[in-house]
């Protein structure tokens, strides 16, 4: 089994990976399987399940199943992109701050604290109101919320590594800081990153779904799980599946990401302690 | 006298059935100290815990019995056994800084033990204070209210001993209680252990990797190897006339400071490294004050001192890892910049450092080949191919098989890792090697092999050494000259044989007296 997939040997890892694969498959392949176009009404609103519409219809009489099959792409893409962006910035800031012994550390970290002190949803609201609602604003906004959290974790992991002998040996060779960071430090904080990235993804998914639920992100008639929960909630007692369907998918995605993140972290962590146990 | 602690045919297994301790039988009488000696991985800590009827998670006691003061600890329920631990047999762990709860006051560490086992309600405070004064700690309420971090390492270890004996157990198991303490503190703790034995008649099992320490305190010695006791007998006899091959190897591996070393560098060569009036500080605390030293071509200068004497800081200043606050470091006459990065590539190449902890000094995510080739590429400008060719040569030079090149550090033993670290330093073709306590994390037999390697490298390559150590035996084995350091100041300097045989300074004498030695060595000197 390749190194990268060894996490799946644990129960949590296997179940999580299975779930994640399922949800991602639904998001990617779903649109090809959808029986109806997601935007066209096929019956009366809030119809119960029938042979034509297995999950019933939504508040405009559109097929819920088709919309669930279409609605995963946006959540996964937006959350994934924003975490990628948050890591691109947070990793650089965290490494620089963690390795610096001078002013750089306090300057970077206090700036991160300022970002951290803003309430996440409020911050997104202000961004969307100011810049208009678009996918770019959403991704950048969620990334900015996550960036200081990433930076903090990377910084403390870097600090712990930077006093170790092999880092000092590199410093004594007179290696450039970028080499020390990339060659000596970064590979050794991979376990921390693996553990953190699952958490970040979960948080991003919830944020993106909440913003869409509040109607500040994607706009109708786009099919999106968060948006669907919001649109159909007034008909909850008439056609509960119109809300439960997309809500279940969001829940499954969050749980799966969490389980995989956990399993990867544990597997990486075990090998990290195996290394450290003899010291 | 009949034994108060007795183990018979004890076997402890890992869950997969491999034995960690196998067929061990020992008996300790009241007022007797049994020294249990072995190298890391020999199973001595597992045995020590098994003597309390306890097996660590992942281990099981599968056969044999442990009996303390008439109570059979093996086969007892965990609850019943717990009632005996601390009361009839107690345990002193190795590292007091991690075994004392940092958020509890030290008085509570002792009173917890008393409350768990002692008669309820009878003068708790008084008991704690008496327990403290019994182990040489101040028996004052103010002291009992301190937290572990406010105590020195020696005081912390006294607290754990006080907690272990507060319920007046019949037997105490001590697991490396002085490892990590400096020699002077160690000597005082050993006195305390001896008092415990003679005054209170406690049966003591003293576990240690250090043959000299065990020899100085134990009445009887048991030597452990690969989970079994290979030799057992009176201390003087086992150490002076070891019968088992492993014991003989162990005894001969202990470096002795009275065996004069043939000096290889009597001819005063040109000075290669000069340190002039060096001052260095950590924050506002001065740790090195006005230290001057000189290493000549092909010679070895040892810097000796206890922990906190500033010896490692000197090594780090020389290597360009710590900026001195004043003073000058010269390499072949040229003054060196404070930071390694500001030095020329040629200066960095000529001076290499090997660190104390081989478990920490190799990047766990890099293959050995990578690690060794790096200095050759960075400091000598070799191409990847050229550097790789040299890796096999360098591994051979430090007596390692070339197949290790493709391994990761975690697949290597401590001794192998330290050899790799030395090979990495040699890859730069240095003229002087700074060795910062390079053997202190290694077992004695491994240490002996590494010291032997250093000796060979010196004669093969004409290397000069700046050798930092706390161990006088090691120093006697490698150094031509010694510099004794106390709290950052030079106490004494001179040829090794002269300083170790006729020390001029009171501190050097104290250091020499405190260091335990093998009995045969003590008699002859």
3-class state of residue B317 by DSSP? helix
Give the nearest partner residue to B348 out of A166, A173, A188, using CB atoms. A173
Give the position of tokens 């919001």: A230
CB contacts of B362 in chain A (<8 Å) are: 165-166
CA–CA dist B239, B247 (Å, integer): 8
Q: What is the pLDDT of residue B412?
A: 87
Copy the structure tokens of residue B360.
Answer: 């920490």
- Alpha-carbon distance A229 to A213, whole Å? 7
Q: What is the CA radius of gyration of chain A?
A: 22
B320 contacts A164? CB cut-off 8 A: no
User: CA angle at residue B291 from B340 to B289, to 5 degrees?
Assistant: 95
Helix (H) or strand (E) holding B273: strand B271-282
Residue A239: its pLDDT value, please? 86
CB atoms within 10 A of CB A238: 14
Q: Does A2 touch chain B (CB under 8 A)?
A: no
Among left, alpha and beta (phi > 0; psi -120 to 50; other), residue B477 is: alpha
The pLDDT tens digits for A99-113 are: 988 889 999 999 988
Question: Taking 80 as the threshold, does the pLDDT of residue A16 lie above it?
Answer: yes
Residues in chain B: 525
The distance of B446 to chain A (nearest Cα, Å) reads 15
Indicate if the pLDDT at residue A85 is higher than 70. Answer: yes
CA dihedral angle for residue B38, residue B43, residue B45, residue B49, rounded to 10 degrees: -140
pLDDT of A95: 93
What backbone torsions phi and psi does residue B203 show, to the nearest 5 degrees? -85, 125
Whether the ω angle into residue B60 lies within 30 degrees of 0, i.e. cis, is no
Whole-angstrom distance, CA of residue A83 vs CA of residue A144: 9
Q: How many residues does this entry show for chain A?
A: 279
Query: How far out from the chain centre does Cα A132 lie?
Result: 23
Q: Which pLDDT tens digit goes with each residue over B87-126?
A: 899 999 888 878 888 899 998 888 888 888 865 556 678 8
> What chain B residue is nearest to A275 in terms of C-alpha separation?
B410
Q: In what order do the strands lie in the sheet with B89-92?
A: B89-92, B171-175, B203-208, B33-37, B220-225, B228-234
What angle, rounded to 10 degrees, do the helices at A241-276 and A225-232 form? 140
**Strand B89-92 vs strand B33-37: parallel, antiparallel, or unpaired?**
unpaired
pLDDT reported for residue A10: 79
CA angle A209, A215, A218 (to 5 degrees): 70
Residues 178-197 on A with a CB inside 8 Å of B are 184, 187-188, 190
CA B406, B410, B415, B417 dihedral sign is positive
Chain A nearest C-alpha distance from B339 (Å): 8
CB-based contact B519:B218 (threshold 8 Å)? no
Flag if A172 and B352 touch (Cβ within 8 Å). yes
User: Which of A161, A160, A157, A250 minimizes the C-alpha distance to A196?
Assistant: A157
Nearest neighbour of A166 by CB, restricted to B341, B345, B362: B362
B44 and chain A: CB distance < 8 Å anywhere?
A: no
**Residue B36 backbone zone (phi > 0: left; psi -120 to 50: alpha; other: beta):** beta
A22 band by pLDDT with thresholds 50, 70 and 90? very high
With cut-offs at 50, 70 and 90, classify the pLDDT of residue A247: very high
- Which has the closest alpha carbon to A189: A153, A238, A221, A240? A153
Among residues B441, B308, B427, the alpha carbon closest in space to that of B379 is found at: B427
Prediction pTM value = 0.78
Which residue positions in chain B have pLDDT lower than 70?
1, 118-123, 258-268, 519-525
Interface contact A172-B340, CB threshold 8 A:
yes
Which residues 424-463 in chain B show a CB within 8 A of chain A? 424, 428
Residues of chain B with C-beta less than 8 angstroms from the C-beta of A194: none
Which residues does residue B351 pair with via DSSP β-bridges, in sequence order? B432
Given CB atoms, is B146 within the 8 Å cutoff of chain A?
no
Under 8 Å between Cβ of A250 and A201: no
Encoded tokens for B275: 């340190």
pLDDT number for residue B135: 84
DSSP string, B50-96: HTTT---TTEEEEEEEEEETTEE-TTS-HHHHHHHBTTTEEEE-S-H
Query: What is the CB-side half-sphere exposure of residue B264 using CA atoms within 13 A?
Result: 21
Determine which helix (DSSP H) or strand (DSSP E) holds B482, and give its type and residue range: strand B481-486
CA distance B470 to B259: 18
The whole-number pLDDT of residue B362 equals: 93
Average predicted confidence (pLDDT) for chain A: 86
CA distance A4 to chain B (A): 14
Cβ of A174 and B345 within 8 Å? yes
Residue B73 burial by CB count (10 A; 0-12/13-18/19+): exposed, middle or buried?
A: buried
- Phi/psi at A47 (5° precision): -80, 145
pLDDT in tens, A108-145: 999 988 888 888 888 888 888 888 888 889 899 999 99
Q: By the 8 A CB rule, do B471 and B499 touch?
A: no
Residue of A163, A173, A179 for testing the chain B interface, max B β-carbons within 10 Å: A173
Of B181, B177, B214, nearest to B38 by C-alpha is B214
DSSP-derived 3-state class of residue B490: strand
Which CA distances in Å does B326 have to B29, B91, B280, B485? 58, 48, 7, 18
């Amino acid at each position: 089994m390749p190194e990268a997939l060894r996490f799946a040997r644990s129960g949590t890892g296997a179940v999580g990976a299975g779930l994640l694969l399922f949800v991602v498959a639904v998001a990617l392949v779903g649109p090809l399987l959808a029986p109806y176009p997601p935007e066209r009404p096929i019956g009366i609103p809030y119809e119960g399940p029938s042979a034509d519409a297995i999950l019933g219809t939504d508040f405009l009489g559109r097929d819920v199943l088709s919309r669930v099959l279409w609605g995963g792409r946006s959540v996964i893409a937006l959350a994934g992109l924003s975490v990628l962006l948050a890591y691109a910035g947070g990793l650089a800031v965290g490494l620089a701050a963690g390795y610096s012994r001078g002013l750089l550390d306090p300057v970077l970290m206090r700036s991160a604290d300022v970002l951290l002190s803003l309430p996440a949803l409020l911050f997104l609201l202000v961004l969307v109101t100011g810049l208009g609602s678009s996918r770019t604003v959403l991704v950048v906004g969620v990334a900015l919320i996550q960036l200081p959290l990433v930076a903090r974790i990377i910084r403390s992991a870097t600090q712990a590594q930077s006093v170790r002998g092999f880092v000092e040996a590199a410093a004594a060779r007179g290696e450039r800081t970028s080499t020390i960071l990339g060659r000596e430090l970064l590979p050794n904080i991979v376990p921390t990153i693996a553990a953190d990235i699952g958490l970040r993804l979960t948080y991003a998914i919830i944020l993106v779904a909440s913003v869409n639920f509040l109607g500040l992100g994607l706009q109708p008639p786009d099919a999106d799980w968060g948006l669907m929960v919001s649109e159909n909630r007034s008909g909850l007692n008439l056609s509960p599946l119109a809300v439960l369907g997309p809500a279940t998918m969001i829940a499954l995605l969050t749980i799966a990401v969490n389980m995989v993140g956990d399993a990867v972290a544990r597997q990486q962590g075990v090998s990290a302690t195996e290394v450290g146990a003899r010291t | 006298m009949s034994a108060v602690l007795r183990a018979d045919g004890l076997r402890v297994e890992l869950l997969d059935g491999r034995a960690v301790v196998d067929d061990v039988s020992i008996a300790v009488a009241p007022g007797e100290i049994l020294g249990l000696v072995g190298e890391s991985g020999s199973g001595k800590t597992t045995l020590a815990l098994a003597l309390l009827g306890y097996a660590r998670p992942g281990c099981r006691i599968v056969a044999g019995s442990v009996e303390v003061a008439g109570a059979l600890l093996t086969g007892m329920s965990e609850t019943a056994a717990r009632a005996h631990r601390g009361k009839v047999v107690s345990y002193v762990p190795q590292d007091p800084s991690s075994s004392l709860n940092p958020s509890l006051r030290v008085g509570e560490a002792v009173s917890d033990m008393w409350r768990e086992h002692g008669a309820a309600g009878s003068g708790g405070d008084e008991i704690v204070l008496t327990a403290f004064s019994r182990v040489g700690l101040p028996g004052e309420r103010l002291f009992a209210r301190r937290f572990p971090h406010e105590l020195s390492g020696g005081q912390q270890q006294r607290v754990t001993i006080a907690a272990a004996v507060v319920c007046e157990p019949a037997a105490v198991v001590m697991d490396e209680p002085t490892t990590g303490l400096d020699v002077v503190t160690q000597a005082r703790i050993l006195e305390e252990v001896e008092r415990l034995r003679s005054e209170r008649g406690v049966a003591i099992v003293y576990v240690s990797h250090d043959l000299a320490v065990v020899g100085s305190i134990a009445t009887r010695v048991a030597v452990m190897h690969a989970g079994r006791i290979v030799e057992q007998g009176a201390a003087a006899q086992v150490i002076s006339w070891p019968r088992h091959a492993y014991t003989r190897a162990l005894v001969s591996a202990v470096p002795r400071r009275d065996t004069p070393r043939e000096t290889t560098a009597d001819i005063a060569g040109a000075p290669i490294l000069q340190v002039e009036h060096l001052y260095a500080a950590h924050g506002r605390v001065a740790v090195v004050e006005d230290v001057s030293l000189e290493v000549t071509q092909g010679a070895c200068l040892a810097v000796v001192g206890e922990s906190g004497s500033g010896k490692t800081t000197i090594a780090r200043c020389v290597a360009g890892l710590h900026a001195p606050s004043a003073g000058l470091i010269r390499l072949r006459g040229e003054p060196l910049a404070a930071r390694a990065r500001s030095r020329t590539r040629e200066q960095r190449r000529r001076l290499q450092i090997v660190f104390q902890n081989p478990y920490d000094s190799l990047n766990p995510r890099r293959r050995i080949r990578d690690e060794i080739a790096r200095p050759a590429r960075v400091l000598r400008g070799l191409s990847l191919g050229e550097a790789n060719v040299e890796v096999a040569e360098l591994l051979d030079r430090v007596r390692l098989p070339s197949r290790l090149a493709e391994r990761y550090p975690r697949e290597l033993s401590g001794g192998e890792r330290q050899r790799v670290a030395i090979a990495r330093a040699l890859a730069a073709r240095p003229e002087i090697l700074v060795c910062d306590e390079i053997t202190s994390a290694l077992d004695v037999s491994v240490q002996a092999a590494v010291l032997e390697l250093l000796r060979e490298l010196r004669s093969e390559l004409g290397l000069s050494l700046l050798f930092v150590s706390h161990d006088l035996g090691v120093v006697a084995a490698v150094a031509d000259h010694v510099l004794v350091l106390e709290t950052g100041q030079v106490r004494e300097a001179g040829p090794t044989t002269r300083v170790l045989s006729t020390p001029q300074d009171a501190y050097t004498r104290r250091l020499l007296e405190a260091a335990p030695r093998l009995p045969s060595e003590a008699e002859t000197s």
